[in-house]
Chain A
């Protein structure tokens, strides 16, 4: 179809340009708008078409456009990305244009960045355990290949460090058929540089999409979609195992809100559009494993919770779509615990089918369930201790507190490059549990008590006789 082109806009309001209605323009089609003196056209998208008017959302901002002289050119296709194996190692901007000076990607394979929904019938239920080397994740919120597991964080917490450690220790980097697709959405220059350095140092197959904090806001709506289109290509065309990291989803949602307000839509919670859930789902649901395809997409979005509020619409709607969440805690961070992952609100929905016999180790479900229950009890006792004082607690409760401290100091806490094997993490868990009385271990079957707890206790008795310096008291 011949390209449609004409001059003159009716109205400009924030990122929205209204053009007069033209037959033949398709919904969601790419529009290039060129103002007087623009070096390059500004990319936009037709978000409403009718007989009278066309509403265009301009990704790169509308500053300096003069309605009468703006030229609009309709490309007759949706936003697409050219894909080939040469995208590996490249850096793109938020609209998929190369930033590294190595020239454009030439390929006949061009995909709509919105993708298509995966047929649930074609999915393979993810079950392959990823050993991240972080005890708290591996044992308590196991990451599974093909899962979407966000990191809920707050400003000033080390979420980037955690993401880098997961990416580098998860054996997802370095090997030939692993790739990392990183999309920085509204991130600071420093963070972008840190990620870039940490990930490329390890010789990874990295594809970098970068929309910085001072880049055009509306561009952010496209950035994660470019990243996932690249990931789908690498995973399902080239058979690679891809880890996608998108940070910060909150910036993305704010861009969506800004656009929605400019369009005059009726807002729902906190000014976010009513379709926030569907929109986020169209991004998150692109993770997964497909029948007959070798690769997989594991998705690790990072979002900062405004005021650490988990009920804010961004983390809230995210939690309803993703398969769990890793929640960072300011309290743990203040105590100097790294990674400051709070196990109680954290969760991996896919872990139940990816752990245990034949996957990780037979005793994994028991250990994790019991650690959760005991650590949860520790919180209650801490609350009580604040009121009545530690001295007033019963002996049992004091034992719980000791367990809690040891759990935080030795189990949650680990070095920034310390890589623990799953077996090691599970054994550590049993050793901690063995310090508690039997009555506290209600989640462990009688059989597991004998197999795992009793031997440790016996050893501890012997050890205590020889050397009184037991780690847990």
Chain B
């Protein structure tokens, strides 16, 4: 095995050799003819590395594989290109590591454990694909225009585009039918008279953003099927968001939920320095889950990148760039891509570890001074754009952040907040009470509502923005009320404030909570709005009654309220059930109000009767079996 791979290496003896080894960081001498960020093979077994800095004749190299056993004096060979990922059909539905090697084929070659020195492209060059040409000989084309379409999965047509910097006329285009990945799709006679091929696949350096024509502002929401996100803190297509949270608060489950239910066309999921089993779970689960929009298996739109916590740290650093480059590749075809990076903190830590080994002077908590720059560079690769081919497409990025000790003031969370516009803060106390998703309605924010509300009003509900505002107001008021309750108990509060606390509890139990392991896992925005409207309408109606003197204890006893909390269990297309429940709730409230007011009228003028009534009222308040307080915070 190793011998054949050795033969694959450029055999040139360049005279460059290792002078120092410190974990994944090497120093090499005789490097004057190498270039910065060049990809290299180190040692006799040919480990993959990248040049990080150069000083005269010597260079610092980070190695993407375990360096055990490497010796001083072993050769270093340059590959004359930067770290690149091979882009072509066959990425979707597969899992690759941080430097773009296919883990499925590595397993066939090496078994259950990953060994070193194996070099493989992420896609299979010999596989044949169904190709449909989309241009004709003689057409004049510019960079970014489509020359052929490859059926990558049932769901995705992989569009072969004219590479950047290539304009001219089509001299040859492939015939419809089956072709190999390595086949040429078209030839273009460029302005300089040279005929250049357009292959089905190509390499792109992962650290350089792919070009686009124009940057656009976000307009459409990225529907996630998560009520707390779609209803309160919406994400936009082309937006950037972060999910910070201490361990056990559900970062990964939330990321998985986004990967499953987002209405993006392509999902790129990066497991960066996280658990191996989590990637395995995605691999086992996604093929059997159905995309709610296309009804096809989720795997047919998903690209997975796994560099788990025990895989080499330098490759972890690269995995984020590999991921975003793949996202840009599909964006350029005109697709809306959603990318999840779990977790960007592990990426930052990899940066810190490598920086420490290189002996750089650290800034905060050992992180290098360029942490913020790198984060900005990464998040700025998201966005809604007009592609070179003239299509509107987007990359939405959601990064998980794992702050040590759950402390949001640490450098990675703090710097991330500067570059994102959607912040879904996970709250440990919610998680401990098993309120999931544990997205705090107090600490989270989204800057997208004003940009996406027109879309919501047109496509979901014309009251979306006002419902959202009203819910947030109630939750905000509730926060203050809860402080009083914690200090003095609920009984000292007037009924109007108790109603706020009660409605807030309905929102928390009935709306914000969502079980990702039940049928409720995906909630279409229409259903979310229906639940929210029901709760808010109840609030308005109850508020009037309470103001008119009707005791809250009477209202809280209504059986329908238990159903409201369980309304999320109703089938999402069962609008009749929602309408009927809303009507019964409203009717019952009206009845309570009418009875109460009637009794008050009856007893008007009779002081004795009024006293009786008060007595009855307080008995109800104590004995009400369904009386409850803002439970489940």
A324's contact among B23, B248, B271, by CB below 8 Å, is which?
A: B248
CB-defined contacts of B565 to chain A, threshold 8 Å: 442
Contact B625 A437 (CB under 8 A): yes
CA distance A53 to B402 in the complex (A): 38
Contact A439 B628 (CB under 8 A): yes
Q: Closest CB of chain B to A232's CB: distance in Å?
A: 9
CB-defined contacts of A388 to chain B, threshold 8 Å: 488-489
CB-defined contacts of B623 to chain A, threshold 8 Å: 395
CB-defined contacts of B488 to chain A, threshold 8 Å: 387-388
Q: A50-B27, A311-B407 are in contact. Are A274 and B72 (CB under 8 A)?
A: no
Q: Closest CB of chain B to A393's CB: distance in Å?
A: 7
- B271-303 residues with Cβ-Cβ distance < 8 A to A are 271, 273, 275-277, 279-281, 283-284
- B328-361 residues with Cβ-Cβ distance < 8 A to A are 346, 349-350, 352-353, 356
Contact B627 A115 (CB under 8 A): no
CB-defined contacts of A51 to chain B, threshold 8 Å: 19-20, 72
Q: Is B73 an interface residue (CB 8 A)?
A: yes
Contact A120 B280 (CB under 8 A): yes
Q: Is A123 an interface residue (CB 8 A)?
A: yes
Q: Is B71 an interface residue (CB 8 A)?
A: yes
A27's contact among B69, B271, B279, B435, by CB below 8 Å, is which?
A: B69
CA distance A285 to B312 in the complex (A): 13
Contact mask for chain A residues 264-284; partner B; CB cutoff 8 A; 1 contact, 0 none: 011111000011011001101
Contact B489 A393 (CB under 8 A): yes
CB-defined contacts of B490 to chain A, threshold 8 Å: 394
CB-defined contacts of B103 to chain A, threshold 8 Å: 119-121
Contact B110 A438 (CB under 8 A): no
Contact A345 B432 (CB under 8 A): yes
Q: Closest CB of chain A to B581's CB: distance in Å?
A: 12
Contact B622 A78 (CB under 8 A): no
Residue of B nearest to A380 (CB): B633
Contact B284 A293 (CB under 8 A): no
Q: Is B56 an interface residue (CB 8 A)?
A: no
Contact B633 A120 (CB under 8 A): no
Contact B626 A288 (CB under 8 A): no
Q: Is B631 an interface residue (CB 8 A)?
A: yes
Contact mask for chain A residues 94-124; partner B; CB cutoff 8 A; 1 contact, 0 none: 0000000000000000001011111111111
Q: Is B70 an interface residue (CB 8 A)?
A: yes
Contact B72 A50 (CB under 8 A): yes
Q: A26-B69, A49-B21, A321-B275 are in contact. Are A285 and B313 (CB under 8 A)?
A: no
Contact mask for chain B residues 431-446; partner A; CB cutoff 8 A; 1 contact, 0 none: 0111100000000000
Residue of B nearest to A443 (CB): B434
Contact B306 A120 (CB under 8 A): yes
Contact B114 A442 (CB under 8 A): no
Q: Is B112 an interface residue (CB 8 A)?
A: yes
Q: Is B133 an interface residue (CB 8 A)?
A: no
- B106-151 residues with Cβ-Cβ distance < 8 A to A are 106-107, 110-115
CB-defined contacts of B627 to chain A, threshold 8 Å: 394-396, 439
Q: Is B569 an interface residue (CB 8 A)?
A: yes
Contact A377 B632 (CB under 8 A): yes
Contact B486 A28 (CB under 8 A): no
Contact A124 B72 (CB under 8 A): no
CB-defined contacts of B353 to chain A, threshold 8 Å: 274-275, 278
A26's contact among B71, B349, B402, B489, by CB below 8 Å, is which?
A: B71
B280's contact among A21, A123, A446, by CB below 8 Å, is which?
A: A123
Q: Is A426 an interface residue (CB 8 A)?
A: no
Contact A118 B69 (CB under 8 A): no
CB-defined contacts of A196 to chain B, threshold 8 Å: none
Contact A274 B352 (CB under 8 A): yes
Chain A CB within 10 A, most for which of B111, B280, B284: B280
Residue of A nearest to B316 (CB): A278
A396's contact among B20, B67, B104, B629, by CB below 8 Å, is which?
A: B629
Contact mask for chain B residues 245-288; partner A; CB cutoff 8 A; 1 contact, 0 none: 01110000000000000000000000101011101110110000
CA distance A18 to B138 in the complex (A): 70
Q: Is A429 an interface residue (CB 8 A)?
A: no
B247's contact among A24, A286, A316, by CB below 8 Å, is which?
A: A316
Report the stretch among A62-70, A179-187, A365-373, A460-468 that lies at the interface: A365-373
CB-defined contacts of A117 to chain B, threshold 8 Å: 113-114, 276, 308, 310-311
CA distance A396 to B406 in the complex (A): 33
Q: A119-B110, A442-B631 are in contact. Are A350 and B277 (CB under 8 A)?
A: yes
On chain B, the number of residues with a Cβ less than 8 Å from chain A's Cβ atoms is 87
CA distance A259 to B24 in the complex (A): 18
CB-defined contacts of A445 to chain B, threshold 8 Å: 566, 569
Contact A439 B626 (CB under 8 A): yes
CA distance A383 to B111 in the complex (A): 54
Contact A274 B73 (CB under 8 A): no
A266's contact among B104, B246, B283, B362, by CB below 8 Å, is which?
A: B362
Q: Is A291 an interface residue (CB 8 A)?
A: yes
CA distance A23 to B72 in the complex (A): 6
Q: Closest CB of chain A to B562's CB: distance in Å?
A: 6
Q: Is B404 an interface residue (CB 8 A)?
A: yes
B486's contact among A121, A372, A383, by CB below 8 Å, is which?
A: A383
Chain B CB within 10 A, most for which of A311, A365, A380: A380
Contact A286 B310 (CB under 8 A): yes
Q: A51-B20, A344-B432, A446-B569 are in contact. Are A116 and B356 (CB under 8 A)?
A: no
Contact B112 A311 (CB under 8 A): no
Q: Is A249 an interface residue (CB 8 A)?
A: no
Contact A323 B517 (CB under 8 A): no
Contact B19 A28 (CB under 8 A): no
Contact mask for chain B residues 602-633; partner A; CB cutoff 8 A; 1 contact, 0 none: 00000000000000000000110111110111
Q: A27-B68, A116-B114 are in contact. Are A281 and B310 (CB under 8 A)?
A: yes
Q: Is A290 an interface residue (CB 8 A)?
A: yes
Residue of A nearest to B106 (CB): A119
CB-defined contacts of B309 to chain A, threshold 8 Å: 277-278, 281-282, 284-285, 321
Contact B68 A114 (CB under 8 A): yes
B349's contact among A21, A278, A292, by CB below 8 Å, is which?
A: A278
- A115-139 residues with Cβ-Cβ distance < 8 A to B are 115-126
Q: Closest CB of chain A to B475's CB: distance in Å?
A: 17
- B55-106 residues with Cβ-Cβ distance < 8 A to A are 66-73, 95, 103-104, 106
Q: Is A165 an interface residue (CB 8 A)?
A: no
Residue of A nearest to B252 (CB): A349
Q: Closest CB of chain B to A160's CB: distance in Å?
A: 24
Contact B276 A288 (CB under 8 A): yes
Q: A49-B71, A274-B353, A392-B489 are in contact. Are A372 and B115 (CB under 8 A)?
A: no
CA distance A353 to B280 in the complex (A): 13
CB-defined contacts of A313 to chain B, threshold 8 Å: 404
Q: Is A29 an interface residue (CB 8 A)?
A: yes
Q: A27-B21, A117-B114, A123-B276 are in contact. Are A438 and B562 (CB under 8 A)?
A: yes
13 new A-B contacts at CB < 8 Å, known A21-B72, A268-B352, A320-B402: A50-B72, A117-B308, A119-B112, A277-B349, A288-B276, A291-B112, A292-B112, A319-B247, A353-B281, A392-B491, A394-B490, A442-B509, A442-B566
A residues whose Cβ falls under 8 Å from a Cβ of B: 21, 23-29, 47-51, 78, 112, 114-126, 146, 236, 265-269, 274-275, 277-278, 281-282, 284-286, 288, 290-293, 311, 313, 316-317, 319-321, 323-325, 344-345, 347, 349-350, 352-353, 365, 369, 372-373, 376-377, 380, 383-384, 387-388, 392-397, 437-440, 442-443, 445-446
A-B contact pairs, 13 of them (CB 8 A): A26-B71, A48-B21, A146-B277, A236-B112, A275-B313, A277-B273, A285-B309, A288-B277, A292-B112, A345-B432, A392-B489, A438-B626, A439-B631
- The 6 A-B pairs of least Cβ separation, nearest first, read A281-B309, A311-B405, A50-B20, A319-B247, A376-B433, A285-B310
B residues whose Cβ falls under 8 Å from a Cβ of A: 19-23, 27, 66-73, 95, 103-104, 106-107, 110-115, 246-248, 271, 273, 275-277, 279-281, 283-284, 306, 308-311, 313, 346, 349-350, 352-353, 356, 362, 365-366, 402, 404-407, 432-435, 485-491, 509, 515, 517, 562-563, 565-566, 569, 622-623, 625-629, 631-633
